[in-house]
A and B are shown apart, each in its own frame.
Chain A
Amino acid sequence: MNRLHKYLDNITRTLFYYDFQPLLFFWVLSDVFNNMVLWSTHSMWVEQGQGNTYFLYLAYLILSLSMLIFLNNNKKLANIVTLYLCLNLFSTIRYLVNIFSQEVIVFEVIDYKNLFITLWYSTMWFWIAFKLKRECFFNTLNENCPK
């Protein structure tokens, strides 16, 4: 009970005093609520011939929840965000490959919008992962460096 209290206290402090963590908290929470795993079933995706997409969303959900759980642990959070970024890059690349592997590539305004948003999200995740990893790296350097 004491440990749980300490953990919740840590999370509250992190949300109040840290830079990226509050942003991640709100962003990831909305991501969790938007996750299709919560609002659909695997069979529904299989019917549409996209059974693997369900598992992609599941991976997103697991990583999002992990981020929320390890919000106060910078090292683990950085690793989870890096994994999330990899997943995001995978989705982005899959989307791009899908577009460019069509025989006739027709770009409409909606495609440009989708492409822009996908790349924008990738950039955002890249930036967050970079900042977190950089912070961890500098912390490690400062720990090893005698003052």
Chain B
Amino acid sequence: MRPLLLKGGRVIDPSRNADDVADVLLEDGRIAAVGRNVGTPDGAEVLDVQGRVVAPGLVDVHVHLREPGQEDLETIATGSASAVAGGFTSICAMPNTDPVCDNQGVVGFVIAQAQRAAKARVYPIGAVTLGQKGQQLAEFGELVGAGAVAVSDDGKPVATAHMMRTALEYARTFGIPVADHCEDMSLATGGAMHEGIVSTRMGLKGIPAAAEEVMVARDILLAELTGGHVHLCHMSTRGSVELIRRAKERGIRVTAEACPHHFSLTHEACVGYNTNAKMNPPLREAEDVDAIREGLKDGTIDCVATDHAPHHYDAKEREFDDAPNGIIGLETALGLSITELVGRGLLTLPQLLYRMSTAPARIFNLPAGTLATGAPADLVVIDPGVKWTVQPETFLSKSRNTPFAGRELTGRAELTIVRGQVAFRRTP
């Protein structure tokens, strides 16, 4: 492997609060040096990145890769390729595959497939319960030993308070978070979108904000009880943000993520029965969007995650009630985040990059999110000002289910480097 020198870019390293024009030298898959006069070793490949931002590769802790089991929607190969196209060098794969990732065999399979694809690094998240059925704990020890970085029953909530308590306590042994999909099923069942004036007008059963908040409150109290670390997935309501804020003030070990669609769209996007605006938790009201943005600004919400959920065109091409939940997100996340958060002056670019690389890496204990010397050579080169139009047919993901088709966004990854080698290069 030749050394790689990235010359003249604006280097932002949120892990060290650094933001200067500098060169970055990568050698043997590691960051060798960052500075003004780093020097060019013999045989190095030099990339001129003047006018671009050089940052630690982005980290997405919530991705559905669909393999094993639904390879027609996405595979680990296509998903990890889609990730690097979006600027992500590390992603966490949710366990709701078929078979469920509740044993070391599936964990090992996912890791092996990711290595074969040689795109983004993939860190499996194991299931909390066997088959995600909510009845019996999975073997966290075996899962972690095989490479899992967290446990989750995502797709569903951890079924009972007792199970969540046990999981939090048991997970402490291995120093991993329990990531929960907060949804009270008795309030939410049958719901197709947010319960509000739009669902009333459209004649659709709604999912009230309380369905999420009831579980957020439960998980916070159980984290307090157990001293465990709960990570709250895809937060969507202002009530949830408020609960998390107060929990953090009390020193409870709760972290949270939010998805770009929850700070970009409201439930109005469903009007016309647009199934590409159907996901769980659903798009909410304008005040909720404001609260999520504010939460990312003040750190109540620790990081941005995509909840990338590929679905087949045929599956989404049906009556709203029957369509599956979820949208893809790996290739629009950075653009949406820069447009909606940095573009609106809510976060600076370094603050955003912190939320998209350093923070998620720290929460899940991943060797990522930093450009410190000796760290893995996982970087992204971003053009933060380029205007581009979302064209799903050009995506590297196998699926196309996004509500952002045709939308103009600002900011995009141009080059993504994993293990010191170029994993994605954008062709104009």
Do these two chains really belong together in a complex? no
User: What residues of chain A have their CB less than 8 Å away from a CB belonging to chain B?
Assistant: none
Where the two chains meet, the residues of B that have a C-beta atom closer than 8 Å to any C-beta of A are none
